[in-house]
Structure 1
Amino acid sequence: MPEPVIQDLASLAGLCEQLRDRPWIALDTEFMRTRTYYARLCLVQTATPDVIACIDTLVLPDFEALLDVVYSPSVLKVIHSARQDLEVFADIRGAPPAPVFDTQIAASLCGYDDQIGYGALVESITGHKLPKLHTRADWEARPLPPEQLHYAEDDVRYLRDVYQFLAQKLESLGRSAWLTEECAMLTDPGLYRNDPEAAFHRLRQGHALPPAAQTVLCELAAWREHTAQRSNLPRAWVAADAALVETALAAPQTPEALGRIDGMGGAPSHKWSGEILEAIRRGQAMTPARLWDEPRRLDRRQQTLYEQLQARARAVAAELKISSTLLAPRRELVKLIAGDMSGTLARGWRRRVIGEELLQMCASQPGSATVS
């Protein structure tokens, strides 16, 4: 049987008293966001070596005491594939909690597959095979069935052993600092800011539009982001990407013309036609500009250099027994070839392990960009 669920403030206070002085806690969340912009946090699971608890965040009047523990800088949060969990917390408090130990990233630095799932990792390390039930459960329904709660507890029950194993292995490999760097990037608050003015970056089709349409699309993307946030609706429920692109190209000036665009004739034109047309006018009033970076294409010389860098990265990755795509992804190699020093190969542990060597390979090529 699962442990009793924390559903009142007194029980939550007692649990937090047990958690707040621990050096680390295993952590997981269950949330729903199929019909909303912001995730609705339904359950938080946490564990220490001697505690396992599920906190019902839907029933509790508030769970600030738990958030205070989660956001304590002295408590390491152990999470598997932490990005979505951190985003949920960032929506609540404006920034993700830190520090974090992401067991999926830790596993990849220890030689496991880059995107290894929790179940596969648990089985590999502990020998326990987790059932695949409840992966698409409705976590908003109450009461939660006992078997569903037991499934939720398992998400942190075995995370404790996985963490201790991986932490020891990283230490023995001399890679603990690598994980610290990776998780510091993962907990950068900038990753979780959905700034409407930067929302156009989500629309990959934008680079194919002429400059005048790009400025309109930028305004339409900002409008959609504002509206989705204000209405707490998924972006696609406000307007689909393809509809925004088509609207930017057509630049309709009346509600009737807007309604004739595929994907804009329903809720968008009925609810927000005035706002959409105003966004179009703002975009048209701006100086046309190319806002999307053109996809980087390698010429013959650069392609040859890329293949040399990739071969060296694969050799070093094989020596380290980690994935070459983890060590030196294609996009990072292309940045080096272009002289772009903003990538991960130009700093941190990757620069020490292989980046410096790759930079020298780039610098030795005739006509290459200067890098340092």
Structure 2
Amino acid sequence: FKRLKRVNQLSSKQLSAAREIAAWREELAMKRNIPRKWILSDEQVIEICKREPRSLDSMFMVRGVSNSLKTAEARQALSACVRGLDAPEDSWPHLERPPKSEPNVDSQVDLLYSLVKLRAKEAGVAFGVVASHADLAKIARGHFDQSDVMKGWRRHLVGDELKDLMEGKIVLGIEDGVIKVTNRIR
């Protein structure tokens, strides 16, 4: 469970649930002789644990879970999750390394990512060439001058808009299923 992608985003209680779900997933994968990600992806495990579900309906709110698991398997996964959530606090695991993600920055990075993805697509450029997660995290923390996105052609493509978004000068919205950038009325 400690090797799950983005495991650093989980609280200790959620880590306890992740430990139980990962163990269940591993056993099922070995029994079927298939890769564990064919049962549930790491991302799905993390999202399930973040939701701390107590019902199948709540667990099925995670994208793709209802398609990935049969009802009996879903009940087993939910049972594993609840077992982890209800475990005594002194048995909750802790990560030895400090978390890389910052809850107050993660949602901002997600929003910045949407804008970069939009502008990269419009320009016909791969997202990864425009900005890395680290670049967007620097911008989210207000360190504009330390991000490569704020230099050269990247700044012209999306950097200035990222700064405007962080300063509340522009907003992102969805119109007819498409992300739109709008100047904020003051």
Q: TM-score, normalised by structure 2?
A: 0.47
Greater share of helix residues, 1 or 2?
Answer: 2
What TM-score does the superposition give when structure 1 sets the normalisation length?
Answer: 0.25
Larger radius of gyration: 1
- Higher RCO (Cα < 8 Å, 6 or more apart): 2
